[in-house]
């Protein structure tokens, strides 16, 4: 059983922010994180894991429907680490309908009745809203809204607790792949930043 208070050795914290305001001053698009960043984060995590944690994570990831493609042609000694690193991209991979035709695009917002479901690989929703948490802030006191749930922060806790509890290995495997990925998501540079302010135009 993986320890409940550990994300395989990687600290986590979400720094994905959205400003609240009425007028956009400018926007900046950072370089996308994509697969390389996720796999590097997973590789660092793997190096910090105990042998027991590596063994259990490797056992769980074998339940992933993409496992065989991850390790095809990989020497036996490298299969466990390779699968762990490749699992880091799986929640993005399932957004590609060409390679994962069974996936269901349920949108960018958590409005689906099953948005917070945690049932394992029978869940075919893409859950795009699990990848980040929007933490609103206002530099000038404009009204902000709380983050929508579920999100990356709520799911990290859900997956961590489930892996440490008595769920089936199918569910734990699903959660492990998502957890590896989301930890990478919350460490990424912000995909976009939109500093904004509220103001009342001066009368002439």
Residue 90: which pLDDT band, with cuts at 50, 70 and 90? very high
Number of domains comprising the chain: 1
Q: How far, in Å, are 29, 180, 196 from residue 2 at the CA level? A: 37, 13, 42
158 located within any domain: yes
The answer to whether residue 107 scores a pLDDT higher than 80 is: yes
The answer to whether residue 25 scores a pLDDT higher than 50 is: no
180 located within any domain: yes
pLDDT of residue 2: 40
The answer to whether residue 84 scores a pLDDT higher than 50 is: yes
The answer to whether residue 24 scores a pLDDT higher than 70 is: no
Lowest-confidence pick of 41-50, 96-105, 107-116, 127-136: 127-136
The answer to whether residue 21 scores a pLDDT higher than 50 is: no
pLDDT of residue 58: 98
Residue 197: which pLDDT band, with cuts at 50, 70 and 90? very low
119 located within any domain: yes
Task: Give the model confidence (pLDDT) of 158-183 as tens digits.
Answer: 999 999 999 999 999 999 999 999 99
C-alpha 117/C-alpha 140 separation (Å) is 37
168 located within any domain: yes
Element (DSSP H or E) covering residue 137: strand 135-137
151 located within any domain: yes
7 located within any domain: no
Share of the chain above pLDDT 70, in %: 76
Q: Are 151 and 134 in contact (CB under 8 A)?
A: yes
156 located within any domain: yes
Query: What string of DSSP letters covers 1-63?
Result: ---TT-STT-------EEE--SEE---EEPPP-HHHHHHHHHHHHHHHS-HHHHHHHHHHHTT
C-alpha 119/C-alpha 121 separation (Å) is 7
Q: What is the mean pLDDT of residues 123-129?
A: 97
Residue 147: which pLDDT band, with cuts at 50, 70 and 90? confident
Domain that includes residue 185, residue range: 17-197
Residue 139: which pLDDT band, with cuts at 50, 70 and 90? confident
Strand 135-137 relative to strand 17-19: parallel, antiparallel, unpaired?
parallel
85 located within any domain: yes
């Amino acid at each position: 059983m993986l320890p409940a208070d550990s994300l395989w050795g990687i600290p986590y914290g979400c720094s994905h922010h959205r400003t609240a305001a009425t007028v956009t001053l400018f926007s900046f698009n950072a370089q996308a994180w994509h697969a390389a960043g996720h796999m590097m984060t997973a590789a660092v995590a793997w190096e910090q894991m105990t042998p027991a944690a590596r063994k259990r994570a490797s056992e769980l990831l074998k339940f992933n429907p993409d496992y065989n493609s991850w390790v095809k042609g990989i020497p036996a000694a490298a299969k466990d680490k390779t699968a762990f690193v490749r699992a880091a991209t799986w929640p993005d991979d399932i957004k590609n309908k060409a390679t994962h035709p069974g996936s269901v695009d349920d949108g960018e917002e958590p409005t689906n009745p099953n948005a917070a479901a945690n049932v394992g690989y029978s869940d075919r929703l893409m859950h795009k809203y699990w990848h980040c948490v929007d933490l609103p802030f206002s530099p000038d006191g404009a009204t902000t809204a709380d983050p929508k749930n579920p999100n990356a922060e709520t799911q990290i806790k859900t997956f961590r607790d489930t892996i440490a509890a008595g769920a089936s290995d199918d569910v734990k495997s699903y959660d492990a792949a998502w957890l590896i990925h989301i930890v990478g998501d919350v460490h990424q540079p912000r995909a976009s930043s939109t500093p904004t302010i509220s103001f009342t135009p001066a009368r002439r």
